[in-house]
Amino acid sequence: MSDFAQHLINGVAAGTIYALVALGYTMVYGVLKLINFAHGDVMMVGTFLGYAVAQQLGYEHQASLWGVLLIFLAAMAGCAVLGFVIERFAYRPLRDKPRLTALITAIGISFTLSYGFQLDFGPLPGAAPRAFPEVIAPREWLIVGDRAVVIWNWQVISLGIAIFLMVMLQGLVYRTRFGRAMRAVSFDHRTAALMGIPVDRIIALTFMLGSALAAGAGILYAIKDTAIQPLMGLYVGLKAFVAAVIGGIGNVPGAVVGGLLLGLVEEFVVGYSSSSWRDAVAFGFLIIVLLVRPGGLFGSVAAEKV
């Protein structure tokens, strides 16, 4: 029973990261119908930015509250700029071209970032993994029995930050003018433009927002799993994409539920059978969900507009 509880905690912690990364996928897809495969790599860049800031501030083990905030904000701001640049120079010129073109460009950017960052040149980090500093001093918050179940402060803090970001995002999309414009662009960007909505600006802002969320997720990931290296984004990005599709791509609560579900499924598969089954089961799960609900758990199947 106690290891069931521990598996539950582990699964939620892993799922939180998937959920945050999935949010970025979902937003960009919702607005542009573009699967931004570079999203995971933007997350990687975010963790390296956070790492650089932590190094500059001299944090080996513990940062002050302001320090942690600064690390998050710097990484998120840096990635927002990166997201803007990627959108402006790689995706916008292709917006009216066939969708496949933009998809291939996205894959190109993903590889450029993940392999470019492996160069050991100037400020680039090189291929070797490094340890992200423990910016939140680890402390045990809850211990059940003889350390049968352990919950750490950073697990709770991460979950808190993730929920906070998700609630903010939901509010932004459904309660603000910007959100309404976003949804209008998502529905039909030509008609939205006719209604006087600045489509280019809305799309650029969506990209920046998604990239900033990825950076936040990246820092939380680094706090959880310590090692960061340039290829980390490919793996997490793929999983988050699956999470977004399970939840119903384009749907904000769907991404969150999909992420948590995927984290829990993986955890219990590994915990009670074997790690070699993990990816097979995770992706098998995706297929079953899509067979039963082709639009994902929360998605609705819209008829293709002709």
Partner 1 sequence: MRSALAAVLTGCVLALVGCEKKTSTPPSSAPSGGTAAAPGGTPGVTGDTILIGEVGSLTGSEATFGISTRNAIDLAIREVNAAGGVKGKKIELRVYDNQSKPEEAANAANRLINQDNVLLILGEVASSNSIAMATKAQPAKVPMISNASTNPRVTEIGDYIFRVCFIDPFQGYVMAKFAHDNIKMNKVAVLRDLGSDYSQGLADVFERKFTEMGGKIVARETYTKGSTDFRSQLTAIKRSSPEAIYIPGYYNDIGLIARQARELGITATLMGGDGWDSEKLFELGGSAIDGSYFSNHYSPDDPNPRIQKFIAAYKAAYGSVPDALAALGYDAAMVAVDAIKRAPSFDRAAIRDAIAQTKNFHGVTGSITLDEKRNATKPAVVLEVAKGKTKYVDTIAP
Binding residues for partner 1 (CB under 8 A): 3, 6-7, 10-11, 13-14, 127-131, 138, 143, 147-148, 150, 152, 224-227, 231-232, 235, 266-268, 270-272, 274-276, 278-279
For partner 1, the closer of residues 191 and 273 by Cβ is 273
For partner 1, the closer of residues 132 and 298 by Cβ is 132
131 φ/ψ angles, rounded to the nearest 5 degrees: -95, 125
Q: Which two tokens stand for residue 133?
A: 């500093």
For partner 1, the closer of residues 203 and 242 by Cβ is 242
Q: Which own/partner pairs from 245-248 qualify as long-range (CB within 8 Å, at least 24 positions apart)?
A: 245/286, 245/290, 245/296, 246/285, 246/286, 246/289, 246/296, 246/297, 247/22, 247/26, 247/296, 247/297, 247/298, 247/299, 248/293, 248/295, 248/296, 248/297, 248/298, 248/299, 248/300
For partner 1, the closer of residues 176 and 275 by Cβ is 275
For the CB of residue 73, give the shortest distance to partner 1 in the complex, in Å: 25
Q: For strands 227-228 and 140-144, give the pairing.
A: unpaired
For the CB of residue 238, give the shortest distance to partner 1 in the complex, in Å: 11
Instruction: Give the position of tokens 């609705």.
Output: 300
How far is the CA of 202 from the CAs of 94, 173, 186, 245, in angstroms? 17, 12, 10, 23
Residue 156's CB is within 10 A of a number of other CB atoms, namely 14
For the CB of residue 133, give the shortest distance to partner 1 in the complex, in Å: 10
For the CB of residue 236, give the shortest distance to partner 1 in the complex, in Å: 9
Residues of the chain by 3-state class (helix, strand, coil), percent to 5:
70, 5, 25
For partner 1, the closer of residues 120 and 304 by Cβ is 120
For partner 1, the closer of residues 89 and 111 by Cβ is 111
User: Residue 127: CA atoms inside 13 Å, Cβ hemisphere, count?
Assistant: 2
- Sign of the Cα torsion 182, 34, 16, 44 reads negative
For the CB of residue 266, give the shortest distance to partner 1 in the complex, in Å: 7
Query: How many Å apart are CA 214 and CA 187, to the nearest integer?
Result: 24
For the CB of residue 244, give the shortest distance to partner 1 in the complex, in Å: 19
For the CB of residue 209, give the shortest distance to partner 1 in the complex, in Å: 26
For partner 1, the closer of residues 200 and 279 by Cβ is 279
For the CB of residue 272, give the shortest distance to partner 1 in the complex, in Å: 7
For the CB of residue 129, give the shortest distance to partner 1 in the complex, in Å: 5
Query: How many Å apart are CA 274 and CA 293, to the nearest integer?
Result: 28
For partner 1, the closer of residues 84 and 285 by Cβ is 285
DSSP characters over 145-170: TTTTEEEEHHHHHHHHHHHHHHHHHH
For partner 1, the closer of residues 127 and 194 by Cβ is 127
Residue 3's CB is within 10 A of a number of other CB atoms, namely 12
